[in-house]
Chain A
Amino acid sequence: MGFRESHFPSGLEVHKRNSPCPTFTIHIEIALWETLSKGKQKVSLSAFAFLFSELVQYNQTQVDNIAELERRLEDAGYAVGARVLELLCHREKGNRRETRLLGILSFIHSTVWKVLFGKVADSLEKGTEHEDEYMNSEKELLVNRFISIPKDMGAFNCGAFVAGIVKGVLDNAGFPAVVTAHFVPVDGQQRPRTTILIKFVEEVLLREARLG
């Protein structure tokens, strides 16, 4: 899949340490990313799509309501997220520890998304109403790509799996949060986009303030 040029996050000026002009950074980062993950094994998207669909269908047999189904997908994702953090911190971050909120959000928005889904997330925005909310959105979330939701499953969102991954990364990096997946309609488009809503716990914000 060609590496689609991702537009820069609109809502929040994600702090890029070393370069004045954001689009310029994107190019460097892609080249860097290519080298870092070169020789990384790949599998076909359909192999993952078929596997993920079995995960969904198996869990459907284990639950009797949609909320429980989403919770089980989130648990599965959580385990993936915890391990992804370990893997990526060692490989991508080398010897730098993430201590700031923007740092970990940017890490998820770009590094985690690139390694898992092959592209930077479409956008990372700060919630307007609440201080502690951030939204990481994707026009066509990989796990939802082949899935059409029958009416009787209401607002069921397989993105709960990805929400679990994000929660696994955040909790284990010391930024505990409640993470949920939502469909957000996009005008003029048949398919809604998927937004991963991150709501940090009180203590994270206090620490962030203390660090100034």
Chain B
Amino acid sequence: MIVCLAVVGHQNNPLYIQSFTEADDALKLHHMVHCSLDVIDERVDNPKKSGPTINETFLGLLCPTENYKVYGYLTNTKVKFILVTTDLDVRDADMRTFFRRFHAAYVDAVSNPFHVPGKKITSKTFAERVATIVKSFGLTTTG
């Protein structure tokens, strides 16, 4: 199940963060998102590392812990998408399709003339669209 989704600007300024669990572990999830940023920066700065091809937007698995997996995606505008899931055997291909649809929603949200680049995304339609993508992704939220 997807427990947390975040969009972080290129100066690591948070643009959007949403957790999908009732439990009050939001703080822990935010911390995880934070530390995954360093993994992304490190992976971008010296692209010699293995894993997905160097200049691909999908960064793959960032830092697996015992009961969470954190995936990353970096756009051409240096904006980072981070996803935290408890589903330990999720396939990379599914993650790619998820991120592509999430990226489509993000693009529409920032193309809104009233959105100020670099500021938090406050669009209601974006939040609804993200919720439907998460829901329809087969990993239904609990309860």
Contacts and interface: CB of A to CB of B under 8 A. Distances in A.
Interface of A: 79, 82-83, 85-87, 89-90, 93, 95-99, 172-174
Interface string B97-140: 00010011011001101000100000000000000000000000
Nearest to B109: A86
A172 B77 contact: yes
B13 interface: no
A105 to B, nearest CB: 14
Given A97-B57, A99-B47, A172-B117, A89 B75 contact: yes
A95 B102 CA distance: 13
A82 to B, nearest CB: 5
B71 interface: no
Contacts of A98: 55, 76
Interface of B: 10, 47, 54-58, 74-78, 96, 100, 103-104, 106-107, 110-111, 113, 117
A99 B10 contact: no
Contacts of B76: 85, 89, 93, 97-98, 173
A51 to B, nearest CB: 14
Contacts of A95: 56-58, 96, 100
A89 B100 contact: no
A81 to B, nearest CB: 10
Contact of B104 (A83, A85, A90): A90
Given A90-B103, A172-B117, A173-B76, A97 B55 contact: yes
